[in-house]
Structures are given as C-alpha cells and as structure tokens.
Amino acid sequence: MRRGRFVLGVFSFGLLSIGVCLGLFRWVMVPPPAAPDLATRPTPRVERVTRRSVSVAPDALERCPVTVTILREGTDEPIPGARLYANFTAEGDGLFYPWLPCHTDAEGRCAFETAPCGALRASATAEGFTPAFTHIEDTAFDSELTLSMTAGVLLDGRVSDPTGAPIEGATVQLNEWSRATDAGGDYAMWVTPGAAGTLRATYNNHVSDGREVTMPSEGGATVDFTLAAIHDVEVYCAGLPDDSCASLQPSVMCTHPALMLGQPCYGEPLVCECPGADAVIRGGGEAARVPEGAEVVWLDMRYGGGITGEVLLGGEPVDRCELQVIRVPRGLVEDIPRGLFTAREGRCDADGRFLIEGLRPGVWRVTVLVDDEERSAPQVAIEDRVEDLGAIDMDGGGSIEGVLRDGLTGEPVVGGMVLCTLAEEGAIAMPVSGETSLDEGLFEIQGLPPGDYLVYPARNPLQAVAVSLGEDGEHGSAWVELETLSTELPEEQGFELVTGGGGELLIDAIAEGSAAERAGLSEGDVIAGVSLFGLDLTSLHPRLSDAALHLYSGPGMSLTVERGDEQLDVALE
C-alpha cells in the first residue's frame, strides 16, 4: 500500500492540522471565434419605462414580454420592493444583454415588456430575505415566472486592518453567500437560519481569516475581522550549508507571536509571507522575531549534532532517497515557542549515504522514502556530535494492517487518519507513523522497526490498540480493527452551538440525558475558552477554540463558560 508523503510531526490527538490547498489550473489556447459583422448588427436600445418596468431589445429581434413575480416562500404573499436583476440571451443571437435592475411593485411583479425571445436568468435580493435565483430556457414559451424567497437572518460586521482602519473591497463569504465590504469596511448579507460553516474574510496581499459560525434561527450575528497586510521576508539558516534553509521545508512558518502555526515558507532562498509588522519565523527547532520593516531574518542552526547512515534496497546502496528527521519533544508543548514541530529534510548521495547536520540536542526520529516505499528507523538520541545509524534496509521493517470503522454504524471509514506511537510514550505523544484509510476502511502502516506500539484513530486516541512487532520479525505484521468517533464534539457531547448577535459562541440546546447535561452545561452559556489536556487554546489564539470544537471529538477537552456574572470551568467526558 503506497504512502502519499511523510507523516509530519503532528500531535497524536489530531487536533491541529494545516491543509494547504493548491488550486491547479491548465490553460489551453483556443483560436478566437470569427469576428461578427458589426456593421449589420442592430444596436440595442435600453429604455427605462418605470421603476417596475424595463424595456430592452434590438429593433430587429423578436420580442417576448416577460413578467416575474416574487413571493415569500411557501405562501402567495408578494414581496414589494425586491430588487430583481434579469439577463437575456436572445434566440439566434447568442449574445448576452446586460443585467437590468427592476424593483417589484406592490404585487411583487417586475415586467420586461420588450425582452428578446430567448433565455432569461434572474436573481433577486430583498431586505430580510436570502438571495434567490431562477431561469427560463425560452421566453417564447414561458412568459410568466414566479420566484420564491426565503426569510433570512442578518450576518454583518466590519473588516479592518490592525490599526482599525476599514478595508474596502474585502470579500466575506459563508458557503454560497458573499459580500464585498463598502468604504467603511462594513458588510451585510441575509443568510438561511441555521446556516453553518466557515465565514472567511479575504483581501489582496493580506492574511485571510476565518471563523466557524452557526447562524441562529432568528435575529442575526455580527462578526468582525482584522486582516494584516502581508510582506515578504527572506530567511537564512546560520550553520547549514550555504546558510540555506532549504532542508527545513516545509516546517518553517511565519506566525503570529502567540501562535505556533501560520503561513508555510517556500523557495530558495526561503521566502515567508508574514502578517503585518508583528511576526515570528519558526522552524527547525528555532524561532526569530521579525523586526518591523525587516526583509531578511536569520535562524541560528549552529549545533554540533547530526545523523548519518546508509540506505540499502535489495542489499545494495540506493542511488537516491529522501529523508526526514523529526525531534521528539520531551513534553507535549515543549517546542511550541519554536513551532509545532522540529523537522529537517535531507537526501542520499549516489552511494546511498546521507548526512544531516545542525541538529538540536534531543531524541530524533528518522523516516526514509525511496520511490514509493517508506521506512522508519529507530529513534536516536543526539548530543553535540554526529550519530551513525549504520544501514537502513528498505526491505526490512514490520507493518500494521487493519480496518477503520464508524463507531456508531459499523460502516468502513474512508479517508480517516490512523496513527501509531511507541507504547512506552502513550497515545498522547508524537506519532511514529500514520496512514489514511482507503477503500473499505483498510489501512497499512509499513516499515516499522521492532517494538511495542499503540495504534488508534487520530480523532479517538483512547481507542488505542497495543501491537507488538518482535525483535526476530523484521518482516512481521499485525492486524487491528479500530473504531472512530463519527461526530464533532458538540454532537458527541449532546449540545448545539450557535453564533450570537455579537459574534460570541453560544450553547443553543442541550440534549436530555446527554454528557453535556451531566457536565453541567446550560442553554445560553457563552463559551469563553477551550482547553485541551490543560493547554489553554484560547490564550494561544482565539481561532484555535473554533478548530478544537469542530475538528476534535476525543478526550481531554474542557470549556470555560460565562453564565450571567459567573465564569465556570466544565470538563467534558
């Protein structure tokens, strides 16, 4: 079974992961169509008759009057004053005629009296309703169109920069709804009650920001954003060959001072897109603050530790390979000031030899990739000298195979992450390796050295299964069956979340007899903080609370809630 890439240094509870989405586009050159004979083409005439009646049609085209009626969904109640935009494609013409605005009359109607025969596409907006869209394939056969609009709740807010100045033209989007901010940085849109998803604000050359929101059933919510401008910073690593940080990719990131995750850095020389003037470069076990206006930052990698060795395949040295070494933190959050993980990359030479220098003292794990095969070497303690691992045999190593099932339905889970750690370190530790379940929920973690392991779904570490690969079983394997939690934490615990009018996160409902009820949560509680295994996520960055509640459903979670004038800490099961 193929491994896609190295398993990067990820905490085993699987809370925080950064998926970098690459949009891949392929441009195809297509010959332009023949130019139309403009001399014989009739000129469109646009005539506004009233606010509720629009006339548009070239003199030479056949006309097909159309009336659009807008009603409240599920009723015959008209919506007066709705703004309707209509776009026509004339039959036999193939050209789009402009989007024309029209306001509905007291009966909710708009009349397009001289529209060309052909296709009609219409969209409508109205205060208190979500946008609606519809179309007619041919107005020669359909001259009456009814459009229903759903009552919505208002989502609004302001987008500004760190100085408080408004950002005009920023895009704020929740699912299919989006708006651009005005000159005051304000946005407002009507969305479906109960709509849930990531509300994201973006603007050119600024760091985007997102919030998980669940809209209330009535009223609305106000959510503000602060977007910092991006500036490029070149990063160099003192002590590494040619002062290059290339071997640290992709672990180098530019982050907020209080947050260990951020924008990955790429290229040679390494270039980071840093947010605003207050930022930190983290990676390779080091961190350096970015001075205001700085264009170059150095990381100090002048350590004497290193790892060397030889990689074999079929008993012969390989002519190429890739390696990744990851430092094992002594405590769960030991390396957070320097980044979420400490990783370095390297390559074999033509004789299968490798050397990775400048490693911080500590325990390191080595993963080797040759073509599509991956092999994990035993972890090694590094001090102020280079340690020789000897030969790493790509044909050796044991494997752990199994199936991942849904804990409620028993159905196979495709695309679930399965991790394994050393048994002596427990489940809440840095994984040795991991794999994603494929068809029928099957997975296989290959190339493991002999030893005792714990294997578990990333979202359910308490379901860990102990596996032993014996010293005399270099090619041994084991089979395990795992169950994952199929829901997010709120559903698992029996409560529902909603975004309040001021953008705060509220508990909207508590299921009778649920774990949330037993823990003492109440409807209307405001979630002021989230902690995981004693680590205050909210103090690191407010967005981590959102991530924890929506991406993690395992143990170790506690909430800080505000109830009136009280503030309570509630541990979840």
Tell me the per-residue pLDDT of 482-519, one tens digit each, with 9 for 90 and over: 887 655 667 777 788 888 777 778 888 888 888 888 88
Q: What is the average pLDDT value for the chain, to the nearest integer? A: 78
CA proximity to 546, closest of 269, 96, 199, 201:
199
Residue 47 confidence (pLDDT) above 50: no
Report the C-alpha gap between 218 and 153 in whole angstroms. Answer: 6
Could you check whether the bond before residue 269 is cis, i.e. omega within 30 degrees of 0?
A: yes
Contact (CB, 8 A) for 241 and 356: no
CA proximity to 231, closest of 169, 159, 292:
292
Read off the pLDDT band of 71 (50, 70, 90). Answer: very high
Could you count the other beta carbons within 10 Å of the beta carbon of residue 219?
11
Mean pLDDT of 327-342: 56
Strand partners, 483: 405
CA proximity to 284, closest of 309, 330, 253, 263:
253
Q: Distance between terminal CA atoms of the chain?
A: 36
Report the C-alpha gap between 26 and 5 in whole angstroms. Answer: 24
Tell me phi and psi for residue 544, to 5 degrees.
-65, -30
Helix/strand/coil (H/E/C) assignment for every residue in 165-195: CECCCCEEEECCEEEECCCCCEEEEEECCCC
Read off the pLDDT band of 135 (50, 70, 90). Answer: confident
How far CA 200 is from CA of 181, 193, 411, 539, in Å, comes to 13, 18, 33, 21
Question: Which helix (DSSP H) or strand (DSSP E) does residue 279 occupy?
Answer: strand 279-283
Mean pLDDT of 52-62: 51
pTM tops 0.75, yes or no: no
Mean pLDDT of 110-130: 85
Beta strand 465-469 with 451-457: parallel, antiparallel or unpaired?
A: antiparallel
Please give the pLDDT value at position 251: 74
Fill in the DSSP letter of residue 489. Answer: H
Please give the pLDDT value at position 258: 65
Contact (CB, 8 A) for 157 and 187: yes
Report the C-alpha gap between 222 and 241 in whole angstroms. Answer: 51
Report the C-alpha gap between 504 and 437 in whole angstroms. Answer: 36
Report the C-alpha gap between 475 and 49 in whole angstroms. Answer: 83
Report the C-alpha gap between 557 and 501 in whole angstroms. Answer: 26
pLDDT digits (tens, 9 = 90+) for 142-178: 888 888 999 999 999 999 998 899 999 999 999 888 9
pLDDT digits (tens, 9 = 90+) for 232-241: 899 999 888 8
3-state secondary structure of 202: strand
Residue 229 confidence (pLDDT) above 50: yes
Read off the pLDDT band of 57 (50, 70, 90). Answer: very low
Read off the pLDDT band of 93 (50, 70, 90). Answer: low
More confident site: 222 or 446: 222
Displacement of CA 78 from its chain's centroid (Å): 41
Report the C-alpha gap between 122 and 395 in whole angstroms. Answer: 63
Strand partners, 312: 317, 393
Beta strand 177-180 with 171-174: parallel, antiparallel or unpaired?
A: antiparallel
3-state secondary structure of 516: helix
What would the DSSP string read from start to end of 315-334?
Answer: TEE-S--EEEEEEE-SSTTT
Contact (CB, 8 A) for 395 and 442: no
Please give the pLDDT value at position 552: 59
Read off the pLDDT band of 49 (50, 70, 90). Answer: very low
CA atoms within 13 A on the CB side of 345: 18
pLDDT digits (tens, 9 = 90+) for 350-378: 999 999 888 888 888 888 989 878 887 77
Domains and CATH numbers, the chain: 42-149 (2.60.40.1120), 153-226 (2.60.40.1120), 230-300 (no CATH), 305-393 (2.60.40.10), 398-484 (2.60.40.10), 489-571 (2.30.42.10)
CA proximity to 448, closest of 399, 491, 497:
399
Helix/strand/coil (H/E/C) assignment for every residue in 46-67: EEEEECCEEEECCCCCCECCEE
Tell me phi and psi for residue 420, to 5 degrees.
-140, 140
Report the C-alpha gap between 300 and 239 in whole angstroms. Answer: 7
Contact (CB, 8 A) for 310 and 317: yes
Report the C-alpha gap between 477 and 442 in whole angstroms. Answer: 14
CA proximity to 379, closest of 316, 294, 280, 453:
453
CA atoms within 13 A on the CB side of 309: 24
More confident site: 6 or 304: 304
Read off the pLDDT band of 435 (50, 70, 90). Answer: confident
CA proximity to 86, closest of 118, 60, 58:
118
- Produce one character per residue of 159-177: b if its CB has 16 or more CB atoms within 10 Å, e if not: bbbeeeeebeebbbbbeeb
